[in-house]
Amino acid sequence: MDTQDAQDDPDATEQPQPPVTRCYRHPERECYVRCTRCDRYICPDCMREAPVGHQCVECVREGSGTVREPRTAFGGRIGGAPVATWVLIGVNVLAYLLELASPGVLDRLENLGTGLRGPDGGTYLAVGGPYPGFQAVGVAHGEWYRLITSTFLHLLPTQGILGITHILFNMYWLWLLGRIMEQQLGRARFVALYLLSALGGSVLVYLLAPTESTVGASGAIFGLAAGYYVTARRLRHDPAAANRLIITFLIWMVISAGMASWQGHLGGLLTGGAVTLAFAFAPRNRRTPVQAASAVLVLAVLVALVLLKTRQLTGAA
């Protein structure tokens, strides 16, 4: 085609138009901005501000999933409601209501090392025997569950000097200390601390006073107090307040010795302190495995002590 023909044909001089670019999420929308992460075209509704340019919705979501969640020095998540503390208080209150409705559950679930159940169904604290018509009961006779079930029971209003103040005092301290320790440790570690402290209190009662029957969450509460003392000292958060708290609990242990089980208090205090020390000083790069192994080790020691005491009691019988 000569020059004159090209001038007469305007279509011959038009340049090819670039293809229309559309949003990958909204194909009906024309757009010209790319995601700086995946390089796909995005419309204004799909744009999210980024340190450089804009990113699409999916890239922002993926990026958020890779951000490390902030945690405390002991591995607990920052913020959040103290759900575990509420649940533990709820379980204790429900168990107390069950006691009020059926007081016989105390004989079945209280912490008792060795005793006898009479023909009338009552539990009697006795050693030796044999006693015709009586059945041997207690931890030494296979009822290991008593070591834990007893920690969710409390004295009834008609029992002893403490009465209903027994559960009120324990739940008050569980509410105060539980929220702090759950925030510092996280729910799983907090529950482990609570249950191991409760078990440690029951085990020491079993070791030192196997013919005494005990109930109450005091061992767990003393364990939380020891845990609070350790974490406060570890973080250097008002050590004077931590000292006052632990001294208060030690004084209460002495005062309540005639009304409650000092063995349970001391066992919970020692176990809670040991568990929290392991949690607080675990190396950061291996924190979770070391903390889990420490909790399992404490549990194994408690189980071994129960086995040794059981062998002693049943062998003597």
The distance in angstroms from the start CA to the end CA of the chain is: 120
Cα 189 from Cα 288, distance rounded (Å): 10
Structure tokens at 6: 């090209």
**Which amino acid, one-letter code, is at 117?**
R
Q: Which residue has the tokens 């020491």?
A: 204
The Cα-based distances of 79 to 11, 50, 170, 180, 186 in angstroms read 68, 26, 25, 11, 10
Tokens of 281: 């000083």
Q: Which of 150, 202, 218, 294 is catalytic?
A: 218
Cα separation values, 261 from 71, 257, 311, Å: 37, 6, 23
> 184 near 102, Cβ under 8 Å?
no
Cis peptide, bond prior to residue 119, ω within 30 of zero: no
Catalytic, 26? Answer no
For residue 173, what are its two tokens? 């301290």
218 is catalytic: yes
Q: Partners of 137 in the beta sheet?
A: 115
Task: Kindly give the residue spans of alpha helices, DSSP state H, lying in the chain.
Answer: 3-8, 57-65, 83-101, 105-109, 146-149, 165-185, 187-208, 218-235, 239-255, 262-280, 287-316
């974490």: which residue's tokens? 231
* Candidate list 54, 154, 166, 265, residue with the active-site label: 265
Catalytic residue numbers read: 218, 265
